[in-house]
Structure 1
Amino acid sequence: MTTEFDEREWELERAEFLAHHSVDTGPLAGQFAELTRALLSAPTVAGALEQVAQAAVAVLPGADFVSVTLRSPDGTFHTPVATHQVAVELDLVQYEAQEGPCVACAEPTGPALAYSADLADDGKWPKWGPIALSAGVGSVLATTLLPSARPPRSTGALNVYSWKAHGLDRADHTTALLLATHASLALAHTQAVEYAELQAEQLRKAIDSRDVIGQAKGILMDRRGITGDQAFDLLRRMSQDLNVKLAELALTLATRHTELDLPPVE
């Protein structure tokens, strides 16, 4: 009886406090409150990260699409959640080139935030930047995800893309960091078995894409006597010239390389 009475009394006091201390928190605060509720009710880590990605598109005016990068303890990267296929492809290019905002922020010793207001006027990422620009991306923002306290202690990044130059500005940094904090809380609840399931069920396509790009690079290196970097640059150039997705081009090359007449190495 005592516990029941205490709970009723607490609810009455809480209602009285809210009645006398109501605050207009604004739409952004309301959206974050809704996100918190959604994260608490999400049945899986993948579901929680999906909520964060959708929230980023909703609360960042210049965000056209969003992805989440996870870095495994063995140093491999993958994208479990993305709101647009272009994000998946551009993330994959970063993983292959070992360069770009999400790779930098996902590294354990990387920066908290990586940002380019205008990729056409920014030489931070000489390999990845031109590819993102050719895909139509004008600006990009990535924020780090804090590792969980429990194994497997994955790190990662929240990646925000805009089609427009200056579509993302410094006013978005604080909001993006808050979103990354929410994503980090979701990761903090990841158990090793959940992490394995996330990889197996949601990342198989990305892993297969990395494998086939590696095969295509190997074929080019063998047939042309070139380095791995030269092979990747050749693949990228062919992808741009033919207006074909990098992963699709790599798959064609890996399965039909004896039928193709490859362009010369520049």
Structure 2
Amino acid sequence: MNDVFERQLADAVRELDAQSDPPHTLRCLVDMAPEFFESCDYVGISIVERDRIRTPVATNERLRLLDEAQYELGGGPCRASIRDHATVVVHDLATDPRWPAWGRAMVNALGIRSSLSFRLFTRPDRTWGALNVYSTKPRAFTEEDVQQGQIIAAMAAVALARSVNDEQLATALESRTVIGQALGMLMERYGIDEDRAFDVLRRLSSQENTKLRDLAARVVARTISGPIAPH
């Protein structure tokens, strides 16, 4: 790595680490990615959600929709990087025979000719999605671009995994807190112990087909109409 790239990478790590949640992390990555490539006009991030892939963020809405068209068509460089190869290079979408329909759409709609797709993964069995960079020039990306992009993708995958885990932890802690508050209110109001209070909350949650955390929030906010009888 050259000194300029090392400085850019260090700055990117700090900036990504400062993001508060996955949406901000993804937006930050889309905004900063062009700095690492000599010719990069568009960027999209694809995310794996259970058994589907979607593109939640991209340089613009047109690109986002075209990026997602890969999954409906059943083929494209982003999908291939997630499913088959960690890195997929397309030198010219106008002539590449692998995905002719999708390639023509990219050329006609945005004038995109070249693309690089990098799998975002933190271990072989945990793929988060793909980083996709596009250029309006054919054969725009060099071998150095590929190597540096792989480093960026590895860094981005770690940042994304951290932000997802942090968000999940924050949600779990918030849920635990509000449930504890609701239990305390029931215990004080009805003179029951914690186990009985939890049984009441769980039974109401089942009866109303409501998540326990959401019901607890309603109890705390005193928005449940009528008394809560602990039978």
For structure 1, which segment, 111-120 or 78-87, has the greater mean C-alpha deviation from structure 2 after superposition? 78-87
Aligned equivalent of 2:92, options 108, 118, 132: 118
Does the 8 Å contact 1:69/1:78 carry over to 2?
yes
Which residue does 2:187 correspond to in 1? none
Which whole-Å deviations, capped at 9, do the CAs of 1:32-85 have from their partners, x for residues lacking one? 100111122111122222222222111111110101101112x21111221222
Which residue does 1:145 correspond to in 2? 120
Does the 8 Å contact 2:21/2:166 carry over to 1?
no
State the alpha-carbon separation in 1 of the partners of residues 93 and 35 from structure 2: 23
- The answer for unaligned runs of 5 or more in structure 2 is 172-231
TM-score if structure 2 supplies the norm length?
0.65
- Secondary structure of 2:20's aligned partner: coil
State the alpha-carbon separation in 2 of the partners of residues 126 and 99 from structure 1: 10
State the alpha-carbon separation in 2 of the partners of residues 47 and 92 from structure 1: 20
State the alpha-carbon separation in 2 of the partners of residues 147 and 27 from structure 1: 25
Which whole-Å deviations, capped at 9, do the CAs of 1:174-230 have from their partners, x for residues lacking one? 111111112110222213965xx9xxxxxxxxxxxxxxxxxxxxxxxxxxxxxxxxx
Matches within 5 A, 1:1-266: 26-73=3-50, 75-107=51-83, 110-135=84-109, 136-147=111-122, 153-189=126-162, 190-191=164-165
Structure 2 residue identity aligned to 1:91: D
Greater share of strand residues, 1 or 2?
2
- Secondary structure of 1:146's aligned partner: strand
Which residue does 2:194 correspond to in 1? none
- The answer for unaligned runs of 5 or more in structure 1 is 1-24, 198-266
Flag the structure with larger Rg. 2
Cα distance change, pair 143–149 in 1 and its aligned pair in 2 (3 A): closer
Does the 8 Å contact 2:87/2:118 carry over to 1?
yes
Does the 8 Å contact 2:122/2:154 carry over to 1?
no
State the alpha-carbon separation in 1 of the partners of residues 154 and 137 from structure 2: 26
Number of aligned residue pairs: 167
Which whole-Å deviations, capped at 9, do the CAs of 1:221-261 have from their partners, x for residues lacking one? xxxxxxxxxxxxxxxxxxxxxxxxxxxxxxxxxxxxxxxxx
Structure 1 residue identity aligned to 2:29: V
| Per-residue deviation, 1:154 | 4.9
Calculate percent identity across the aligned residue pairs.
31
Does the 8 Å contact 1:148/1:188 carry over to 2?
no
Does the 8 Å contact 1:52/1:182 carry over to 2?
no
State the alpha-carbon separation in 2 of the partners of residues 131 and 83 from structure 1: 17
RMSD: 2.4
Cα distance change, pair 45–148 in 1 and its aligned pair in 2 (3 A): farther
Which residue does 2:201 correspond to in 1? none
- Secondary structure of 1:145's aligned partner: strand
